[in-house]
C-alpha cells in the first residue's frame, strides 16, 4: 500500500474527517468509527510505517507514551472497568489497515465483546527448548 491510498494518512492530512482526541507534531489519536465499545481510540504515528517492524524505535517509544496517557484518561473519564491495548502486525495477526496503529479498547466486566482464549495445554520442555534454540541461533 502506498501512502496516497492509506486511510490513516488521509486522516493525518485532514482529507478524511475524524474525531481527534489527541494530536502533536508526530502522532494522532482519534475515535474509531467502528468501535468495539464507546471510547475505542486509535493512536497512530503521522509518518507512514506499515507495522511495528518498520518504525524507528524512538517513534515507537513516543507512540506508546501517548497510548499510556490516553488509556489512563479514558479509564478515568469513562469510568470503565479496564481496557485492552491492541497492536496487530500483518494480516495473519488481524492487521487490516497497513499503517502502524494501536487500539485502546475500553472494557467493562459484563461487555462480552471479545475474549482472548489462552490455550491451557502446557508445552513440553523439548518443544520449548527447540523454539528457544531456533530463536537464539
Catalytic residues: 101
Beta bridge partners of 42: 30, 103
Separation in Å, CA 38 to CA 43, 65, 74, 77: 15, 22, 10, 12
User: What is d(CA 137, CA 132) in angstroms, rounded to the nearest whole number?
Assistant: 9
Instruction: Work out whether strand 27-31 and strand 20-23 pair parallel, antiparallel, or are unpaired.
Output: antiparallel
Spatial neighbors of 59 by CB under 8 A, at least 6 apart, are 26, 45, 47, 49
Amino acid at each position: 500500500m502506498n501512502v496516497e491510498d492509506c486511510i490513516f494518512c488521509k486522516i493525518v492530512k485532514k482529507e478524511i474527517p475524524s474525531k481527534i482526541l489527541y494530536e502533536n507534531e508526530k502522532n494522532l489519536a482519534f475515535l474509531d468509527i467502528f468501535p468495539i465499545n464507546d471510547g475505542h481510540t486509535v493512536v497512530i504515528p503521522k509518518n507512514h510505517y506499515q507495522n511495528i517492524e518498520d518504525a524507528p524505535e524512538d517513534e515507537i517509544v513516543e507512540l506508546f507514551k501517548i497510548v499510556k496517557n490516553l488509556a489512563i484518561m479514558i479509564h478515568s473519564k469513562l469510568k470503565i472497568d479496564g481496557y485492552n491495548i491492541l497492536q496487530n502486525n500483518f494480516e495473519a495477526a488481524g492487521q487490516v489497515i497497513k499503517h502502524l496503529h494501536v487500539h485502546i479498547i475500553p472494557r467493562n466486566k459484563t461487555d462480552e465483546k471479545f475474549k482472548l482464549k489462552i490455550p491451557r495445554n502446557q508445552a513440553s520442555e523439548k518443544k520449548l527448548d527447540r523454539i528457544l534454540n531456533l530463536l537464539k541461533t
